[in-house]
Structure formats: C-alpha cells, structure tokens
C-alpha cells in the first residue's frame, strides 16, 4: 500500500511540475483610430545586441507581406517611413538558448508614440523559433487592426 501511495505521489508531482513548463500566450493591441494597414513603409530599429537577428526577421516578415522595410539604428524623429518598429526580445537557457518572449511596438514616425503593440511568450515546452515568434506577433497585430 505504501509503495502504491508513493508511486501515485511521484507521478502527480511530476505531472504538476511539467504543467508549469508549458506556458504560452500571445496578445496584440492597436490604438483606436490607427490604420496599421495603411502603413506601407517601415523603419525597423536595430536592437542593442549586435548578434541578434530579430530586426532582420521583422524586416523579412514585412517584405514578404509586400511592405517596404529598412533596418537601421534608432534615430531622432521624424523617420522617413509610415511606421517605426521597435522590439524587445528576451532569451532563456533551457538546454539550448531560445527566445522566451518577444514584444513588438509599431510607432508613429513623427513623435515615436506607440500605435500598436504585440507580445508573444512561450516557455520551453511550447517554444517557437524567432521567425515563428515574429510571425505570431505581427499576425496578431494585423488581426487586431480591424
């Protein structure tokens, strides 16, 4: 009887610890009155980490969707684009490095005010590649732009 209770306790303990690892969520919000779909040119601000390629992945996403996009350092507004994109990517080590969270802001090129924001968070069991994270966030932003 003791062995059976111990076995059940171990199995339940393992299951409860695994459920905490499978966390994911994705959100997006567009400021009312903002027409994201009217923005045809974008300036993607290069991230602070030189080895980070997230800025290029965002540019590639926009280009594949038919928009014009360039990547460069942060500038003093106004930008020569319809929208400015900034991002924060967080990385985590779990056997390998992976992107755990990505937040993308679409900003007004004149005053840098954020007009849309999207976020994706995936822990180790639901991890996505950086390209998949960008796709998820940008797709959700465009879905919110009604």
Q: How far is CA 49 from the centre of its chain?
A: 16
Q: What DSSP designation does 38 have? A: G
Q: How many residues does the chain have?
A: 146
Per-residue pLDDT tens digits for 81-129: 999 999 999 988 888 888 899 999 999 999 999 999 999 999 877 888 9
Q: In order of start, what are the domains of the chain with their CATH numbers? A: 22-144 (3.30.160.670)
Mean pLDDT computed over every residue of the chain: 84
Per-residue pLDDT tens digits for 18-29: 444 567 778 899
Q: What is the pLDDT of residue 50?
A: 60
* Between 106 and 16, the higher pLDDT residue: 106
Q: Is the peptide bond before 5 cis (omega within 30 degrees of 0)?
A: no
- pLDDT over threshold 80, residue 7: no
Split at pLDDT 50, 70, 90, the class of 5 is very low
């Amino acid at each position: 009887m003791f062995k059976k209770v111990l076995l059940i306790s171990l199995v339940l303990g393992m299951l409860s610890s695994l459920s905490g690892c499978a966390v994911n969520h994705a959100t997006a919000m567009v400021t009312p009155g903002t027409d994201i779909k009217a923005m045809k040119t974008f300036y993607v601000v290069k991230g602070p980490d030189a080895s980070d390629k997230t800025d290029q992945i965002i540019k590639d996403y926009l280009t594949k969707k038919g928009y014009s996009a360039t990547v460069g350092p942060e500038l003093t507004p106004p930008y020569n684009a319809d929208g400015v994109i900034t991002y924060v990517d967080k990385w985590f080590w779990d056997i390998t490095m992976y992107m755990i969270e990505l937040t993308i802001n679409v900003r007004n090129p004149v005053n840098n005010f954020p007009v849309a924001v999207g976020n994706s968070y995936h822990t180790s069991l639901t991890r996505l590649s950086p390209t998949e994270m960008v796709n998820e966030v940008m797709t959700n932003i465009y879905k919110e732009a009604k």
